[in-house]
Amino acid sequence: MDSVEDDTSLVEQALLEDEWSKQCTGDGSVDFKGEPALKQNTGNWRAFPFILGNECCERLAYFGIATNLVTYLTAKLHEGNVTAARNVTTWQGTCCLTPLIGAVLADAYWGRYWTIAIFSTIYFFGMCTLTLSTSVPALKPAECVDSFCPSASPTQYTVFFFGLYLIALGTGGIKPCVSSFGADQFDDSDPKERIKKGSFFNWFYFSINIGALVSSSLIVWIQDNAGWGLGFGIPALFMGLSILFFFLGTPLYRFQKPGGSPITRMCQVVVASFRKRNLEAPVDSSLLYETPDKSSAIEGSRKLEHSDELTYLDKAAVVSDVESKRGDYSDPWRICTVTQVEELKILIRMFPIWATGIIFSAVYAQMSTMFVEQGTLMDTSVGSFTIPPASLSTFDVISVIFWVPVYDRIIVPIARKFTGKERGFTELQRIGIGLFISVLCMSAAALVEIKRLQLARELGLVDKAIAVPLSVFWQIPQYFLLGAAEVFTFIGNLEFFYDQSPDAMRTLCSALSLLISSLGNYLSSFILTVVSYLTTQGGQTGWIPDNLNEGHLDYFFWLLAGVSFLNLLVYSVFATRYKQKQAS
């Protein structure tokens, strides 16, 4: 009798546990108390407003600095065009390089939530320092007197760039974590939530551009007309609001546990495979080492299925005779699980796709550098009102704001009917479309510059660094095309690197996608330096002199258009050969 009651009790307990598991997320996420996250109380769209508010305010702060920075460097710090453009792209590149630091800390130790919180504080201090450097008289560079512009003092340079690079460090913990943390709010194991995750990336990027819209219009106008102290102070205030928004959503968030250092795990695979270089990997992949448990040995990660590529690395998971006899598989520097090996394989497979994004980022960098400098020598007046050339980036933002809902609500449903894909296009198809549009963008910029230089010659303005009577609104097509390319390529990259990355390496992979932007900015600086050096040999004026009326900026734009087209061809080859990640 007791046995029957015990069996009944066990069945009831099993049913209760099954019912409980259905109410919890299936991706291993927990709530802020560390308990399994309940679907009905956490994550999903209910957490999105706080992440959206955080990202919108943070991006407003960032673009409030970045959009018009080249103008500040030339007008207030009295730098030349090439030097200012190089400093801007170098700083922007650093902003996309520091995420590697934040990614390692988030994935290995702190988790995404605390990494965002700590680095946001550093970011805020950087914003305050920058505001002080443009507000305190002793820290402000002297104004020009007639044609004489005194250089900024070493102290003024130091304080300004210290604040600027403190911001760059702060972005390192925010950029790679916020998009991944937002995507974590949607359960991969739930088909309905998985579809919502695709929309999340679109609307996440939409929120970025709402902040950028305010910065490129209102903040830029304040900087040019009301002063740089106020123009930098307002973004600092919004950075404070960004931190507040983030903490308010804490009870609703889903958290992924950090899985240990991904760099260490990759090194372990390399070392273990080298140690077993003389062993043969079995034909039957089921004989490779993997934990018998349902869950992976890596905290916060699901198991990955074995792939037939890069088979040399499989040797790290080969069970040697010594290990088999001892039954000891505890040394990860000698034997790794299949999942650990597949993590490294995935990163290697993603590398060619990652590399081809660098050229696109170099093109994108022109929006805050050469596009602005092109606009300074065009007619910026509309009646009695003068438009700051940097404000034209508003049309890039408007383009993004236009294309995101059009893509999400119109293009995706139509494409889904033809492709059968949940998101209309695959991430790789989406990226490729954006790369093609970037070629059109640089071609449009070159055509505008050809017309501008033609007018300069006809009106005898070649030797004068003054604007030609060509409306700056002729730049709108190149900004609008760049915005469309962003929606396809940048959002496609966000989706690709999140979806294809192993569970315990998602922040690192997000950082790698941002590293594309970093290297693109550095590449832009390098191309500018090389072009300037080669085209000024023998006393020549060069393509990009301080007086653009004497130069050939159109040649520079055509160069980028040609390189972008070649990059598209290379990308197409690698994209067609890419094999998707398979989770077990």
Q: For residue range 320-363, what is the model confidence (pLDDT) as tens digits?
A: 877 777 777 778 888 888 888 888 888 888 888 888 889 998 88
Indicate the residue among 239, 259, 279 that finishes a domain: 259
58 and 112 housed in the same domain: yes
**What's the predicted TM-score (pTM) here?**
0.73
- Name the band, by pLDDT with cuts 50, 70 and 90, for residue 566: very high
106 and 234 housed in the same domain: yes
Q: For residue 66, what is the domain's CATH number? A: 1.20.1250.20
Candidates 311, 302, 328; CA nearest to 269 is 311
Predicted confidence (pLDDT) per residue in 166-181, tens digit: 999 998 888 888 888 8
pLDDT of the residue at 376? 85
For the chain, what is the domain count?
3
The alpha carbon of 372 is separated from its chain's Cα centroid by a whole number of angstroms, namely: 22
Assigned domain for 11 exists: no
Predicted confidence (pLDDT) per residue in 32-82, tens digit: 877 877 877 787 778 878 888 888 888 888 888 887 888 888 887 777 777
**Interval 22-27 mean pLDDT:** 71
Nearest-angstrom CA–CA distance, 189 and 404: 26
- Name the band, by pLDDT with cuts 50, 70 and 90, for residue 299: low
Assigned domain for 94 exists: yes
26 and 147 housed in the same domain: yes
pLDDT of the residue at 342? 86
Q: Has residue 220 got a pLDDT over 90?
A: no
277 and 387 housed in the same domain: no
For residues 507, 510, 515, 521, the Cα torsion angle rounded to the nearest 10 degrees is -130
Q: Among the ranges 23-37, 165-179, 287-301, 377-391, which has the highest mean pLDDT value?
A: 165-179
For residues 285, 286, 290, 292, the Cα torsion angle rounded to the nearest 10 degrees is 170
* Residue 521: C-alpha distances to residues 66, 186, 360, 369 (Å): 13, 32, 10, 10
**Percent of the chain scored above 70 by pLDDT?**
92
Question: 412-419, long-range: CB within 8 Å, 24+ apart, which pairs?
Answer: 412/198
Assigned domain for 12 exists: no
Predicted confidence (pLDDT) per residue in 422-469, tens digit: 777 888 888 999 999 999 999 999 999 999 888 888 888 878 878 888
pLDDT of the residue at 5? 52
Assigned domain for 1 exists: no
Residue 235: its H or E element: helix 228-248
Q: Which residue has the higher pLDDT, 143 or 583?
A: 143
140 and 193 housed in the same domain: yes
Quote the tokens at residue 413. Answer: 């449903």
Assigned domain for 550 exists: yes
- Name the band, by pLDDT with cuts 50, 70 and 90, for residue 296: low
Q: Has residue 272 got a pLDDT over 60?
A: yes
* Residue 264: C-alpha distances to residues 98, 260, 261, 336 (Å): 19, 8, 5, 12
353 and 318 housed in the same domain: no
Indicate the residue among 307, 327, 343 that finishes a domain: 343
Assigned domain for 318 exists: yes
Nearest-angstrom CA–CA distance, 65 and 84: 14
CA angle 106, 108, 113 (to 5 degrees): 25
320 and 368 housed in the same domain: no
338 and 351 housed in the same domain: no
249 and 272 housed in the same domain: no
Indicate the residue among 285, 314, 343 that finishes a domain: 343
Q: Which residue has the higher pLDDT, 206 or 358?
A: 358
313 and 391 housed in the same domain: no
242 and 278 housed in the same domain: no
**Interval 406-420 mean pLDDT:** 82
* Residue 567: C-alpha distances to residues 225, 354, 489 (Å): 41, 12, 13
Assigned domain for 208 exists: yes
Quote the tokens at residue 460. Answer: 């005898």
Residue range(s) defining the domain that contains residue 246 = 21-259
Q: Has residue 258 got a pLDDT over 60?
A: yes
136 and 211 housed in the same domain: yes
Assigned domain for 7 exists: no
